[in-house]
Structure 1
Amino acid sequence: MSVASFLLPKDKVAFITSCASVKEALEQLENHYYSALPIVDEEGKYVGTLSEGDLLWALKDKPGLTFENMHEVPICDIEKNIHNESVSIHADMEDMLALAADQNFVPVVDDNHIFIGIIRRKDIIAYYMRNITD
C-alpha cells in the first residue's frame, strides 16, 4: 500500500521555515501541542526537524539566549539533535515501519524533495494492527 493514502497534507500540518525565530517555533509547538516540527527551507524542501528538546538545550547552552530575545534568534542557529528521515510519496508502507519505531512522524516529500505532509506514527501502527488482526 502506498503512503499517499495515509498522508496528512502540508496544509493540515504545523511546520516552520528554516528562517523562523525561536519564538515562532515555540509558539507553533505550543499552539499545536506538538513535541517536534518539520522544517522547510525557502523553496519548500524538507530540511530537518526541530524538537522541544532542541529549544530547551539551546536555552541552557546558548549564551545570551533568553525568553526576552528569542524573537531575534533564528532556528537555523539552533543545533538539531534529531532528524526525522523523509520518504518519497511513492514509498510503500513497509518502508515506514522501521522509521516509525524511532520517529513520531515521517515527513513525506515529492520527487523534488518538496515537503508535502507527514505520516503520523499512530497511523502507521493502526495500519499494521488492522492487518495483523484481520
Structure 2
Amino acid sequence: MEIKSFLLPKEKVSYLTTSASMKDAMDRLEACQYTAIPVIDEEGKYIGTLSEGDLLWKLKRTPGLGFDNMNEVLVSDIQKRIYNECVAVDAHMEDMLTLAADQNFVPVVDGDRVFLGIIRRRDIIEYYTRNITD
C-alpha cells in the first residue's frame, strides 16, 4: 500500500504560512480545533509545526505581549519546541508508520519539500483496526 492512500490533501488541511501572525495562528487553531498546525513558507515548502504550547510559551516569555498586540508577532518568530518530521510522498509505509507512532500527524511533501498534505495517526489506526477485525 502507498502512503498516498492515507493522504489528507493540502486543500482539506488547515495550515499557516510563515507570514501569518500569532493572532492568525490562535484563530486558526481555535477554528479547526487542532492542537498543532503545519507551517509552510511562501513557496509552499514545509517549515515545521506550530503547537498551542509554542504560542503559550511565546506569550509567557515575551514581556508586554498580550492578546491585544499578538498580531505584531509573526509565526516565523515563534520558537517551535517540537519538529514534526515530514515524509516524502513516495516513501515506504514503514517510514511513515515510524513517524506516526510519535506524531499526531505526519506532514507529506514532494521531492522539493512542497507541502502536499498530512497523514493523520487516527486514520492509520482506523484503517488497521478495520483490517485486523475483518
Cα distance in 2 for partners of 1:32, 1:94 equals 29
Cα distance in 2 for partners of 1:87, 1:71 equals 31
TM-score by length of 1: 0.95
Q: Which moved more, 1:95-104 or 1:22-31?
A: 95-104
Residue 54 of structure 2 corresponds to which residue in structure 1?
54
Q: Does 1:87 align with 2:87?
A: yes
Q: CA deviation at 1:127?
A: 2.6
Q: CA deviation at 1:2?
A: 0.8
Unaligned runs of 5+ in 1: none
Residue 40 of structure 1 corresponds to which residue in structure 2?
40
Q: Does 1:97 align with 2:109?
A: no
Cα distance in 1 for partners of 2:62, 2:17 equals 21
Residue 75 of structure 1 corresponds to which residue in structure 2?
75
Percent of aligned pairs sharing the same letter:
64
Which AA in structure 2 matches 1:28?
Answer: R
Cα distance in 2 for partners of 1:71, 1:55 equals 12
Q: CA deviation at 1:92?
A: 2.6
Report the CA distance shift for 1:93/1:126 in structure 2 as closer, same or farther (over 3 A). Answer: farther
TM-score by length of 2: 0.95
Deviation readout 1:61-82 (Å, 9 max, x if unpaired): 1122110100111011111001
Report the CA distance shift for 1:127/1:92 in structure 2 as closer, same or farther (over 3 A). Answer: farther
Unaligned runs of 5+ in 2: none
The alignment partner of 2:126 has SS state of helix
The alignment partner of 2:128 has SS state of helix
The alignment partner of 1:54 has SS state of helix
Q: CA deviation at 1:91?
A: 1.6
Q: Does 1:111 align with 2:98?
A: no
Residue 30 of structure 2 corresponds to which residue in structure 1?
30
Alignment length, in residue pairs? Answer: 134
